[in-house]
A and B are shown apart, each in its own frame.
Chain A
Amino acid sequence: MVPVLAVDSEYLFGLIGKFLARDDAGPRHDYGHLDADPRAGILEPWRFPWVDAVFDPDDATQPDNAVTFVHAAADRQPGHVVHLVGSFADLHTPIPLLPLVDTHYATVTLRIRKGEVHHYRLRIDGVWQVDPINPQRMLLDNGVEWSRFFTWGATRRLVLERWESRLLQRLCSHILPFHTADGETFFKRVHDAQGPANRAPHAYRLDESAGAVNFIDKLLAREEAHHLIDYQICLELIDRLLRLRNPVIEPWKLPREVFAELYREMATASVAGWNYGRYGNPRYFLQLLRRHTLTGVFSHPRYGGNAMTLGWKYLEERYRDASGATLFDWGRAIEAPLGRNSAYRG
């Protein structure tokens, strides 16, 4: 039985007013990826279901998120009967969404583990369907479409193919400093310091992208879904041209120098073998990748990057005063268990 969390209407109102309430349902929020979908009339529909923190005074690991599902009646009338089933609970026991006072909205807030990916459907007035707000959807093996969401720190690959992730990791690694002599020393020290018993099993590969690829996968699944097409096209083009340059070795296994050269060519927007008919400006993709990579490696790990806070720890170790004290004491401000702030709960 998934626990239902009690929240007040003020909290729920805050999830609704800015994003859902409006007169103009025109496609103000179609960045070229929603194409006449009614969700283009919703501000940041990817925020739904709303995944938030919840403080657990009895568990220092803070293992859960509060996930709020929202249904907005299409006819703006109250009184619709809405239920929910999902992979986070028994699929045979629909969970009711309760009417939100004085509105045509219905909601329920559930306590769901961090690091998970789930699918769900809504039953609206007796008809099972995907969530009309949430753009994330997935086809199950039986061909039925469900809505999807993920909680903080999820690591399951969602939108990138395995080969795309591997290739992307090489490009991210080239941007980041972890393959440099300083970076390798840092990684070795972190790895050794973990000790086999303390290494998080399967949580993250301790790779040179420090989770940036996972961050990008989640970003493309949700906030910046409009850029998924950039990655799909460009990674395919890169894969193809690297295979032409070296037909023997799998592209993601090619030597570092190959990626360095590819990066340099992309920076000049002049890439030998690039299919400009399919994607006109490889430099644009590089710029996108730079922003995503940097954000991924230094943002809060809730977004799926900055694995084991490696990005923050790298700066923490790199910058020290004469006494050896760090000059980036990030843990001082950040909530436990990631950081050590005694007041802030995240």
Chain B
Amino acid sequence: MERFDVVIIGSGAGGAPIAARLARAGHSVLVLEKGPLLRTQEEHPLGVSDFKRDELFATGAEKRLTLSGVANRFDSFYGSHVEPDLNDEPHIYEGADGLDRATIEGYTAQVVGGGTQLYGAVSLRFSELDLRLGSFNAGRNDIVGDPNGDVRREARDWPIDYATLEPYYCEAERLIGINGTRTNQGKPFSADHYQTPYAPNPISAYVATGMDALGLPRYRTPLAVITEDHAPSGRIVPAAAEAAKTGYVNRYGDPLGLKSNTWVALLRPLSGMANFTLRANCVVTHLEMAGDRIGKVVYRDVAGRPVEVAGKLVVVACSAIESVRLLLLSGERDPAFTARLNGNGLLGRYFLTHCFGGAEAIMPGRFDKSVSLDSDWATDACASEDFIRSQGLWAGGAIYNNTSDQALPISLARTHGSQDMDTIWQTFADDTALTGDALNAFFDANFGTRLSVSFMANQVPLFDNRIELHPSISDKWGRRVAYIRKTWHSHDVHLMNVFAEQCRRILAFGGDGGKGQFPVSEFGAIYMAANARARIANHILGGMRFGSDAADSVLDPNCRAWQFDNLYVTDGAFMPTSGGANPTLTIQANALRVADQLLARL
């Protein structure tokens, strides 16, 4: 059996920073990744990238669910080329009607780099307050929509504070390669490693106008896309002006490697090191314990053969749902494993995503949205304590505009009237009146004119929101799949309504030069969707929260399983609250923090 200092399961935001830090310190590191290694064109044997500027890569041909026992059997689904196939490895969620359905929600990407390959690259920090919501809400009686005091009871402080995490935010921003601006952010910075952002897409001027009219301090949304040569990863920006601004951004891998996914930013620079090993296309099936340690990591190689490896330290970072699932599956094989890991019954509990939603309108002008990154302007105004208290909220969130959505013709059509990945294409196919001149009119109204403003805010953690193993549905390896059981708290609904209204106002004031009367017909939030219980925004958090009390958490403050000496979990599963922003940068920063702890142990 091969032995390594560290075996890391997952190559995305939670795993790659640790791999980079430990490999550079000279330790032997094995990274196991379920998906393939897809490369940029410079490193590819065919001289082209495995990622393409091709709308059918983001959402491909129709497939159909064939799984028995789900209410949406025989329904169509569409996936990107790096999302798992739902018939081979679905996520199942329990709907409000009590019926189970398979969903594409909650998967990011199975590929080296994980979700950072496809994400929109929004790289916000969490606020100071996001990490101390337990103490902030203690004793409050002004929280709207919380008749049973759930918020007060369930809110938790993180076992680390912002000041502890802050240097790691700086380091992550430096190593990853992020453009943005610091001024007007509501979070303290000890260093500014942002690259200079590109000029915003002109359509975003409406958002700037609206935020200014409402007195919301704005800043350029930090995006993990390099705009200048990036020394830590050795990446060079092509001579072509603003080469990354193409509209092929969110849900697309970057053939040029300018989007700072964890492969190009962190792992590829390790490629020549003898002590670093990356094995793509390898599915970890389970962990085996030996006393208080993980003794073996068992995986299937690319040919499907079982292989065992060992690590002095084992890091699980394969995206919160799948990490919980892997540990539950390991426990199924060995009751002692379960007893050690899940003695308090919290494994899989307090699963989280974000309260999210926003507003969207057809603006007065038309712009070329295909020359864009994912977002231009953001504001932290709704993360301030004053705002939170004034609205009867328990926590805040970030607001930013989306520039690249619906920038390309097929994406405009397939998302016409659709709320999520599970209902894509339905409205366009159904809207049979759109032909000929009416189709012209549809494009005239919508192409290059639509602008959306989104919010990303804390969701109330609830014990009953959880990840389990589905009782009957298995993946192509015969392993039970993840079963998502969650709902929205009544306070979440209030919070989402408040934030959706803020987004609406930004467009209403932005659309008419600050008067606030511009019509914004579409605004709302995810709790309204038909599959509201499934919606995860690809922000997959919680399920193994860390804490200072072993009775109240699964992981200790260093993200180590309390009763295992060498088992760490560093994807979003560790979060006891979901934060008021997109989580990737925080996962990366925390992974760097944990890496320092691991270094001290090796």
Contact A328 B368 (CB under 8 A): yes
Q: How far does the alpha carbon of A92 sit from the alpha carbon of B45 in the complex, in Å?
A: 29
Contact A300 B55 (CB under 8 A): yes
Asked if B574 CB lies within 8 Å of chain A CBs, one says no
Q: Mark A170-184, 1 if CB is under 8 A from B, else 0.
A: 000011110110110
- Interface window among A27-35, A158-166, A188-196: A27-35
Q: How far does the alpha carbon of A345 sit from the alpha carbon of B44 in the complex, in Å?
A: 12
Asked if A205 CB lies within 8 Å of chain B CBs, one says no
Q: Mark A31-74, 1 if CB is under 8 A from B, else 0.
A: 11000000000011000000011111100000000100000000
Q: Of A56, A175, A318, A344, which is within 8 A of B435 by CB?
A: A175
Find chain A residues with CB under 8 A from B300 CB: 21
Q: How far does the alpha carbon of A140 sit from the alpha carbon of B427 in the complex, in Å?
A: 42
Asked if B268 CB lies within 8 Å of chain A CBs, one says no
Asked if A278 CB lies within 8 Å of chain B CBs, one says no
Find chain B residues with CB under 8 A from A6 CB: 45
Question: Closest CB-CB distance, B427 to chain A, in whole Å?
Answer: 10
| Size bracket of the B interface | 35 or more
Query: Which residue on chain B has the smallest CB distance to residue A181?
Result: B437
Q: Mark A271-291, 1 if CB is under 8 A from B, else 0.
A: 000000000000100111011
Contact A105 B303 (CB under 8 A): yes
- Interface window among B35-43, B393-401, B562-570, B575-583: B35-43
Question: Closest CB-CB distance, A47 to chain B, in whole Å?
Answer: 10
Asked if A311 CB lies within 8 Å of chain B CBs, one says yes
Asked if B72 CB lies within 8 Å of chain A CBs, one says no
Find chain A residues with CB under 8 A from B370 CB: 328-330, 332-333
Query: Which residue on chain A has the smallest CB distance to residue B243?
Result: A343
Asked if A23 CB lies within 8 Å of chain B CBs, one says yes
Find chain A residues with CB under 8 A from B45 CB: 5-8, 11
Q: How far does the alpha carbon of A32 sit from the alpha carbon of B251 in the complex, in Å?
A: 29
Asked if B50 CB lies within 8 Å of chain A CBs, one says yes
Contact A315 B447 (CB under 8 A): yes
Asked if A223 CB lies within 8 Å of chain B CBs, one says yes
Asked if B3 CB lies within 8 Å of chain A CBs, one says no
Find chain B residues with CB under 8 A from A24 CB: 474-478
Asked if A334 CB lies within 8 Å of chain B CBs, one says yes
Find chain A residues with CB under 8 A from B35 CB: 17-18
Contact B281 A16 (CB under 8 A): yes
Find chain B residues with CB under 8 A from A315 CB: 409, 443, 447
Contact A55 B47 (CB under 8 A): yes
Find chain A residues with CB under 8 A from B39 CB: 10
- Those of B427-452 within 8 Å (CB) of chain A: 428-430, 432-437, 439-440, 443-444, 447-448
Query: Which residue on chain A has the smallest CB distance to residue B365?
Result: A321
Question: Closest CB-CB distance, B299 to chain A, in whole Å?
Answer: 12
Contact B439 A176 (CB under 8 A): yes
Query: Which residue on chain A has the smallest CB distance to residue B33?
Result: A17
Query: Which residue on chain A has the smallest CB distance to residue B440?
Result: A177
- Those of B77-106 within 8 Å (CB) of chain A: 84-85, 87-88
Asked if A137 CB lies within 8 Å of chain B CBs, one says no
Find chain A residues with CB under 8 A from B54 CB: 299-300, 302
A52 and B61 contact, Cβ closer than 8 Å, known pairs A28-B66, A295-B56: no
Asked if A263 CB lies within 8 Å of chain B CBs, one says yes
Contact B477 A18 (CB under 8 A): no
Most buried by A among B56, B61, B87, B366: B61
Asked if A167 CB lies within 8 Å of chain B CBs, one says no
Contact A54 B85 (CB under 8 A): no
Asked if A252 CB lies within 8 Å of chain B CBs, one says no
Asked if A22 CB lies within 8 Å of chain B CBs, one says yes
Asked if A113 CB lies within 8 Å of chain B CBs, one says no
Contact A332 B46 (CB under 8 A): no
Q: How far does the alpha carbon of A10 sit from the alpha carbon of B263 in the complex, in Å?
A: 14
Most buried by B among A57, A76, A294, A334: A294
Q: How far does the alpha carbon of A44 sit from the alpha carbon of B47 in the complex, in Å?
A: 25
Q: How far does the alpha carbon of A23 sit from the alpha carbon of B475 in the complex, in Å?
A: 9
Contact B429 A76 (CB under 8 A): no
Question: Closest CB-CB distance, A239 to chain B, in whole Å?
Answer: 21
Q: How far does the alpha carbon of A105 sit from the alpha carbon of B64 in the complex, in Å?
A: 28
Query: Which residue on chain A has the smallest CB distance to residue B368?
Result: A327
Q: How far does the alpha carbon of A258 sit from the alpha carbon of B35 in the complex, in Å?
A: 51
A21 and B281 contact, Cβ closer than 8 Å, known pairs A27-B66, A52-B46, A298-B409: yes
Contact A17 B46 (CB under 8 A): no
Find chain B residues with CB under 8 A from A56 CB: 47
Find chain A residues with CB under 8 A from B238 CB: 342-343
Contact B46 A55 (CB under 8 A): yes
Contact A298 B110 (CB under 8 A): no
Asked if A3 CB lies within 8 Å of chain B CBs, one says no
Find chain B residues with CB under 8 A from A333 CB: 53, 246-248, 370
A18 and B36 contact, Cβ closer than 8 Å, known pairs A333-B53, A343-B243: yes
Asked if B52 CB lies within 8 Å of chain A CBs, one says yes
Find chain A residues with CB under 8 A from B477 CB: 22-24
Q: How far does the alpha carbon of A174 sit from the alpha carbon of B434 in the complex, in Å?
A: 10
Contact B53 A23 (CB under 8 A): no
Find chain B residues with CB under 8 A from A326 CB: 368
Query: Which residue on chain B has the smallest CB distance to residue A6?
Result: B45
Contact A332 B246 (CB under 8 A): yes
Asked if B178 CB lies within 8 Å of chain A CBs, one says no
Find chain B residues with CB under 8 A from A177 CB: 436-437, 439-440, 443
Asked if B26 CB lies within 8 Å of chain A CBs, one says no
Q: How far does the alpha carbon of A28 sit from the alpha carbon of B66 in the complex, in Å?
A: 6
Contact A290 B48 (CB under 8 A): no
- Those of A135-176 within 8 Å (CB) of chain B: 174-176
Asked if B199 CB lies within 8 Å of chain A CBs, one says no
Asked if B255 CB lies within 8 Å of chain A CBs, one says yes
| 28 A-B pairs with C-beta separation under 8 A | A7-B45, A17-B36, A17-B280, A18-B85, A21-B304, A23-B304, A24-B477, A24-B478, A31-B63, A52-B46, A53-B52, A55-B41, A55-B48, A219-B61, A267-B433, A290-B428, A291-B425, A294-B410, A298-B410, A300-B55, A315-B409, A328-B368, A329-B370, A332-B370, A333-B53, A333-B247, A334-B53, A341-B240
- Across the A-B interface, give the 9 residue pairs with the lowest CB-CB distance, nearest first: A55-B47, A17-B281, A14-B36, A223-B61, A333-B246, A287-B429, A267-B432, A343-B238, A22-B476
| Residues of A that sit less than 8 Å from B by CB | 5-8, 10-11, 13-14, 16-18, 21-24, 27-32, 43-44, 52-57, 66, 76, 102-105, 174-177, 179-180, 182-183, 219, 223-224, 226-227, 263, 267, 283, 286-288, 290-291, 294-295, 298-300, 302-303, 311-312, 315, 318-319, 321, 326-330, 332-335, 341-346
What would 6 more interface pairs be, CB under 8 Å, given A18-B281, A27-B66, A300-B52? A17-B280, A54-B46, A290-B434, A298-B408, A332-B246, A333-B246
